[in-house]
Amino acid sequence: MTKDARERLQETTIESETVFAGRLVSLRVDRVALPGGGTATREIVEHPGAVAAVALEGEDVLLVRQWRHPAGEALLEVPAGTLEPGEEPEETMRRELAEEIGRRAGRIEHLSDFYVAPGYSSELIRLYLATELAPAGAEADADEHIEVVRLPLAEAVARCRSGELRDGKTVAALLLAAARVG
Tens of pLDDT, residues 32-58: 999 989 999 999 999 999 999 999 999
Q: What's 73's domain CATH number?
A: 3.90.79.10
Are 39 and 94 in the same domain?
A: no
Q: What is the DSSP letter of 179?
A: H
Distance of CA 27 to the CA centre of its chain: 19
Are 69 and 144 in the same domain?
A: yes
How many domains does the chain fold into? 2
Are 106 and 33 in the same domain?
A: no
Average pLDDT in the 19-37 region?
96
Q: What is the DSSP letter of 154?
A: H
Q: Which pLDDT belongs to residue 7?
A: 83
Q: Which pLDDT belongs to residue 138?
A: 66
Distance of CA 21 to the CA centre of its chain: 21
Are 22 and 35 in the same domain?
A: yes
Q: Which pLDDT belongs to residue 73?
A: 97
Give the Cα separation of 172 and 60 in Å (integer).
Answer: 17
Give the Cα separation of 80 and 93 in Å (integer).
Answer: 7
Are 94 and 117 in the same domain?
A: yes
Give the Cα separation of 64 and 160 in Å (integer).
Answer: 15
Give the Cα separation of 93 and 87 in Å (integer).
Answer: 10
pLDDT band of residue 182 (cuts 50, 70, 90) is confident
pTM: 0.92
- Inter-residue contact 133 to 57 (CB < 8 Å): yes
Q: Which pLDDT belongs to residue 137?
A: 76
Cα–Cα distances in angstroms (integers) from residue 93 to residues 12, 53, 105, 138, 158, in the given order: 34, 7, 9, 13, 25
Average pLDDT, the chain: 95
- Inter-residue contact 22 to 96 (CB < 8 Å): no
Distance of CA 170 to the CA centre of its chain: 8
Are 42 and 66 in the same domain?
A: no
Distance of CA 37 to the CA centre of its chain: 35
Give the Cα separation of 11 and 33 in Å (integer).
Answer: 6
**Residue 102 reports pLDDT greater than 90:** yes
Within 10 A of 98 (CB to CB), how many other CB atoms are there? Answer: 19
Domain that holds residue 123: 50-181
pLDDT band of residue 94 (cuts 50, 70, 90) is very high
Are 31 and 63 in the same domain?
A: no
Are 41 and 129 in the same domain?
A: no
Note the pLDDT tens digit of each residue in 117-157.
999 999 999 999 999 999 997 666 677 789 999 999 999 99
Give the Cα separation of 33 and 174 in Å (integer).
Answer: 39
